[in-house]
Amino acid sequence: MRAVYPGSFDPFTPGHLNVVNRARDLFDEVVVLVAVNSTKQPGTDEEERAAAVRAILPVEWTSVTVVAWGGLTSTYCRRHEVGVIVRGVRNTTDLQAEYQLAAMNESLGVPTVFLPAQPELAAVSSTAVRTLGKRTMRR
């Protein structure tokens, strides 16, 4: 079965990498879908973020591909015969938000599988990584 792991990935964190690695064990193919999120203002466009993700993924992960996408995740899934969406959740706040998205995607015919964050990675978020990066650059 093919799975898609969507996100804005601004930037792609060790937690994201961990979810992809674990999804590889569950599915025949994993597509990292670098998406546009209208509620976020990423520092680069989705093509640049997709290139950055490709550069991070180990070359031996041949069952993983990276695609930039500007539409709904469920539309991508239907057009490319992807059977499931994978989402990582770090805490109950993530779970509440992700549950709403999962319900919408389920109503559109695509189920979601949640992978809980590894405890040592649960505090890592793209927002925190961006904030730390800006502070480091100012010094």
pLDDT digit string, tens, across residues 60-109: 999 999 999 999 999 999 999 999 999 999 888 889 999 999 999 999 99
Q: Is 122 known as a binding-site position?
A: yes
Give the CATH number for residue 86: 3.40.50.620
Task: Tell me: pLDDT of 121 over 70.
Answer: no
Number of folded domains in the chain? 1
Name the residues annotated as catalytic: 16, 40, 90, 126
> Which residue range is the domain that position 133 belongs to?
2-138
Could you tell me the pLDDT band of residue 12, with boundaries at 50, 70 and 90? very high
CB burial of residue 109 (10 Å; 0-12, 13-18, 19+): exposed
Q: Is 13 known as a binding-site position?
A: no
Closest CA to 67 of 30, 117, 21: 30
Q: Is 123 known as a binding-site position?
A: yes
Q: Is 126 known as a binding-site position?
A: yes
pTM of the predicted structure, to 2 decimals: 0.84
